[in-house]
Copies of this chain bind each other. A is one copy, B any other.
Amino acid sequence: MPTFTPFPPPSRLMRLGFVGGGAGAFIGAIHAQAARLSSRWEIVAGALSSDPDRARQSGREWLLPSDRTYADFRTMARAEAAHPQGIDAVAIVTPNHLHAPVAEAFLAEGIDVICDKPLAPTVEDALRLVEAQQASGLVFGVTYAYAAYSMVRQARAMIRAGELGDLRQIHVEYFQEFAATLIADAGGKQPWRVDPARSGGSFTTGDIGTHAVHLASFVTGQPATSVRADFHVSGEPKDLEDTAFCHMRFGCVPGTLMVSQAAIGNQCGLRLRVFGTKAALDWNQERGDELIVTPFDAPAQRYQSGFAGGLYPEARRLARMPRGCPEGILEAWANLYTELGLAVEARRTGQVLPDGMLGYPTVKDAAAGVAFVEAAVRSNESGSWEDCELNASTDEGSTGEPGLPGKGVSVQS
């Protein structure tokens, strides 16, 4: 194992603002905790709700200064850009249909972006954001947080180093039960997540299938290239699929994807298996701090996160505790915020980071996710295989790493 370079310490805390995340929003609290745990960010501003009263109330709960609690994201973007201690980056944790307009507004003001998926309702919209990011040279991170588990990084490093040999099969699954009982609201309307008008053509494929595909591509270095999908409603009746089974091609490697949010008895069952000509790897999010690698005709080996032998720099660098001290999903999220903090600071200071130090997902990865969902929807209708790769001019980003400051004008190639 090569020795590793630890992350450089921050010269100051990066300043983070939030759009969305107000009262009751679960995901906003995750971002905030992860940013704090990373020890690289302070949260200083927010437009936490589109409802002005809730925005104010949430701002107080978040202990934000009242003059930096905004009722409207456009106002916030302009005000923060003008503020002498303005935010370095915005975290976008709104309902899905707002991701793209909010991101555009902050990019336009020169503020780095951290955005939840899905990026945009259509590939065209997503590609417009890719272009906006490329033109601006700003950091644009997307919170496929599972890929930031240290054992996922170990998995990727082992594949890159050839420990699995040539890849022959890629299987990824993600089973949850939460939407089995999802029903119409009091007024008889479907929740927005399962309303085709507001969510596009997919519920679960977009919501968690994109996580699964990103994970598979990130670890194996193979973009999802085509898909044959079989959509179902397994839970209470709804207008969009809550279950999808897909035959996949990741480059030339065949595989499968299974996702369901109405799989009773399952919680957060994201599991990736890759079979190569030398060994298999098996990573399961519910025991995310371990990685099982089984070579041909040999005992299975259980890697664990932490200060541990046998880890590649990409995994070892993320250790906070000794091996045997479990690392949870918030640590994965915090890893993402650590890398984004580094990237944002490097962009502003011109600091050159070592090759391979950063692994956060980019706007291109998010656009690849949108392309996958569109293709899966088409395939479910046509019964045929459908291409799901982004066009050639951008596809290298779909499984790659963010570019690095010093290599060009922007931190993303």
Residues of A within 8 A of B (CB): 9-10, 12-13, 29-30, 32-33, 36-37, 39, 61, 63, 165, 168-169, 171, 175-178, 180-181, 228, 230, 232, 234-235, 243, 245, 247, 254-256, 258, 260, 262-269, 275-282, 285-289, 293-304, 306, 308-310, 320-331, 383-385
Closest residue of chain B to A291 (Cβ to Cβ) is: B299
A398, B29: Cα distance in complex, Å: 35
- For A234, the chain B residues whose CB sits under 8 A away are 168-169, 254, 275
In the complex, the count of this chain's copies comes to 4
Contact B295 A325 (CB under 8 A): no
Contact (A180, B321) CB under 8 Å given A275-B234, A275-B260: no
Most buried by B among A181, A297, A301, A306: A297
Residues of B within 8 A of A264 (CB): 165, 168, 275-280, 294-296
Across the interface, do A326 and B254 meet the contact criterion of CB distance under 8 Å?
no
Q: Which residues of B contact A269 (CB under 8 A)?
A: 324
Would you give 18 A-B contacts (Cβ < 8 Å), ordered by A?
Answer: A33-B37, A36-B37, A37-B330, A168-B235, A168-B243, A169-B260, A177-B296, A178-B322, A230-B254, A234-B275, A264-B294, A265-B293, A266-B294, A320-B330, A326-B326, A327-B328, A327-B330, A383-B385
Shortest A168–chain B CB gap in Å is 4
Residues of B within 8 A of A322 (CB): 178, 267-268
- Which listed residue, B33, B266, B267, B306, touches A275 by the CB 8 Å rule? B266
Given the interface pairs A39-B32, A63-B12, A245-B247, the reply to whether A277 lies near B180 with Cβ below 8 Å is yes
Q: Shortest beta-carbon distance, A60 to chain B, in Å?
A: 9
Chain B positions within 8 Å of A285 at CB level: 324-326
Given known A287-B326, A301-B300, A326-B328, contact A320–B265 (CB-CB < 8 A): no
In the complex, the answer to whether A324 meets B279 with C-beta atoms within 8 Å is: no
Do the beta carbons of A299 and B303 come within 8 Å of each other?
yes
The distance from the CB of A38 to the nearest CB of chain B, in whole angstroms, is 8
Question: What residues of B have a CB within 8 angstroms of the CB of A181 in the complex?
Answer: 296
B280 touches A265 (CB 8 A): yes
**Known contacts A13-B63, A230-B247, then 20 further A-B pairs from the complex at CB < 8 Å, ordered by chain A residue:** A37-B37, A169-B234, A171-B258, A232-B254, A245-B256, A263-B275, A264-B275, A264-B280, A265-B281, A265-B295, A267-B322, A267-B324, A285-B325, A289-B328, A297-B308, A298-B309, A301-B301, A320-B330, A326-B329, A328-B331
Max chain B Cβ within 10 angstroms of own Cβ: one of A165, A282, A295: A295
How many Å from the CB of A124 to the closest CB on chain B?
29
Instruction: Name the distance in Å between A268's Cβ and chain B's nearest Cβ.
Output: 3
Say yes or no: A325 contacts B324, CB within 8 Å.
Answer: no
Compute how far the CA of A317 lies from the CA of B169 in the bound complex, rounded to whole angstroms. Answer: 33
CA distance A177 to B275 in the complex (A): 10
- Complex contacts, A303 vs chain B, CB 8 Å: 299
For the complex, what is the distance from the CA of A402 to the CA of B329, rounded to whole Å?
A: 30
Cβ distance A108 to chain B, nearest Cβ, rounded Å: 31
Task: List the 8 closest pairs (A to B, CB-CB), nearest first.
Answer: A265-B280, A267-B324, A268-B324, A328-B328, A265-B294, A297-B309, A36-B36, A299-B301
A255 CB contacts on chain B under 8 angstroms: 245
Note all chain B residues with C-beta closer than 8 A to A228: 228, 230
What is the CA–CA distance of A289 and B286 in the complex, to the nearest angstrom? 10
Report Cα–Cα, A316/B327, bound state, in Å.
Answer: 20
- The CA-CA distance from A228 to B178 in the complex, in Å, is 28
Cα distance, A262 to B296, chains bound together (Å): 10
- Residues of the B chain whose Cβ atoms lie less than 8 Å from the Cβ of A385: 383
C-alpha gap A178/B296 in the complex (Å): 9
Judging by beta carbons under 8 Å apart, are A275 and B265 in contact?
Answer: yes
